[in-house]
Structure 1
Amino acid sequence: MIKATQLETKDIVNLKDGAKLGPVKDLHIDLETGRVVALVLQGSRRYFGLVRSGKDMVIPWELVKKFGIDTVLVDLEPMDRSYYEVK
């Protein structure tokens, strides 16, 4: 079992291209079932990490494949590299 607060310290990595996607910001939970529906990752930041430049990324729970000690693996289609770059 993993606590929600432990997700903040884990790297979220895409299996398809090995890209680090950013820290977990929040969870979407189905109020009727109490199950996690999605992970919400914080959008990229710029200007010394003070200003957000991108939108938050919502990853459906079905695409979360593995929880490791330091990493959470997700299976997303690769995105344009510019999405990953911190400007």
Structure 2
Amino acid sequence: MHSLNNLKSMELIDINTGTKLGFIKDLKVDTDNYKVLSLIIPNSKSSHWFSKSDDIEIEWNKIKVIGVDVILIDGDNLFENRD
């Protein structure tokens, strides 16, 4: 099991391209069912510090492996609807 602080210190990597996506900014949690729904990471193209619209949401089912210091995700179609 990992704490939130531990997860936020892990870098996210796309298993399809090997691209480093950054670090977790926030989590979306279903408090009724006690489940993490998605990870929120800042958009690397973002120039606004506090703009949530620039954040990228990664659904929990896209996570393939949580390792010791990285999180591997399936980033296929992740940036399809982005600029």
TM-score by length of 2: 0.79
Q: Which runs of 5+ in 2 are unaligned?
A: none
Which amino acid in the other structure matches residue 41 of structure 1?
Answer: I
The correspondence for 2:48, drawn from 37, 52, 58, is: 52
- The whole-number CA distance in structure 2 between the counterparts of 1:14 and 1:76 is 5
**Cα deviation digits, residues 6-45 of structure 1 (max 9, x gap):** 1221110000000011110000001210100000012226
CA contact (8 A) 1:65 1:75 kept: yes
Q: Which has the larger radius of gyration?
A: 1
How many correspondences in the alignment? 77
What is the alpha-carbon root mean square deviation over aligned residues? Answer: 2.3
After superposition, residues 1-87 of structure 1 pair within 5 angstroms as 1-44=1-44, 51-52=47-48, 55-77=54-76, 79=79
What one-letter code is carried by the residue in structure 2 that aligns with 1:5? N
Q: Which one has a larger percent strand, Structure 1 or Structure 2?
A: 2
Q: Which consecutive segments of 4 or more residues in structure 1 shift more than 3 A? A: 51-54
- Give CA deviations for 1:35-85 in whole Å, capped at 9, x if unaligned: 000000122267xxxx438811100000011011110000011658xx7xx
Separation in structure 2 between the aligned mates of residue 19 and residue 33 of structure 1, nearest angstrom: 32
